[in-house]
């Protein structure tokens, strides 16, 4: 039996080779999924996240074989098999490079 009160273990984000922090892992659900949300009192409740929800991986969960994710500002716990399965898609990192400026002719 799993211990739902196990300490939360944070997974540190290590710098990439070029000195930048690694981008957070983001997944988009391709179908509705049941997840667990812990209340401040420690009680857990089952919540269904809708198809298309974006989940930001925060770290390891208090529950065995689960990850803690953030969706719309709320923390949830989801089985890693569900998060990494064929029913979710990893959102690729978007480029944050600046767009080169172009000269613009003004009309008076």
Q: Give per-residue pLDDT as tens, 66-89.
A: 999 999 999 999 999 999 899 899
pLDDT of residue 55: 96
| pLDDT band, residue 52 (cuts 50/70/90) | very high
pLDDT at residue 92, rounded to an integer: 83
The pTM assigned to this predicted structure is 0.65
Exposure string of 78-87, with b = 16+ CB inside 10 Å and e = fewer, is bbeebbeeee
Q: Which of 82, 90, 97 is nearest to 32 (CA)?
A: 82
Rg from Cα positions in the chain: 19
**CATH topology (fold) of 26-90:** SH3 type barrels. (2.30.30)
Ramachandran angles phi, psi of 89, nearest 5°: -125, 135
**Domain map (residue ranges) of the chain:** 26-90
**101: three-class secondary structure by DSSP:** coil
* pLDDT tens for each residue of 6-39: 444 444 444 445 545 567 899 999 999 999 999 8
Residue 7 is predicted with a pLDDT of 44
């Amino acid at each position: 039996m799993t211990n739902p009160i196990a300490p939360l273990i944070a997974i540190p984000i290590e710098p990439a080779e070029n000195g930048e922090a690694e981008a957070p892992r983001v997944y988009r659900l391709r179908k509705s999924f049941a997840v667990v949300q812990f209340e401040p009192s420690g009680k857990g409740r089952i919540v269904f996240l809708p198809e298309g929800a974006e989940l930001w991986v925060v770290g390891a969960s208090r529950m065995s074989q689960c990850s803690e994710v953030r969706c719309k500002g709320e923390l949830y716990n989801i089985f890693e098999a569900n998060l990494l399965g064929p029913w979710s898609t990893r959102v690729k990192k978007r480029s944050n490079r600046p767009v080169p400026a172009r000269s613009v002719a003004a009309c008076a």
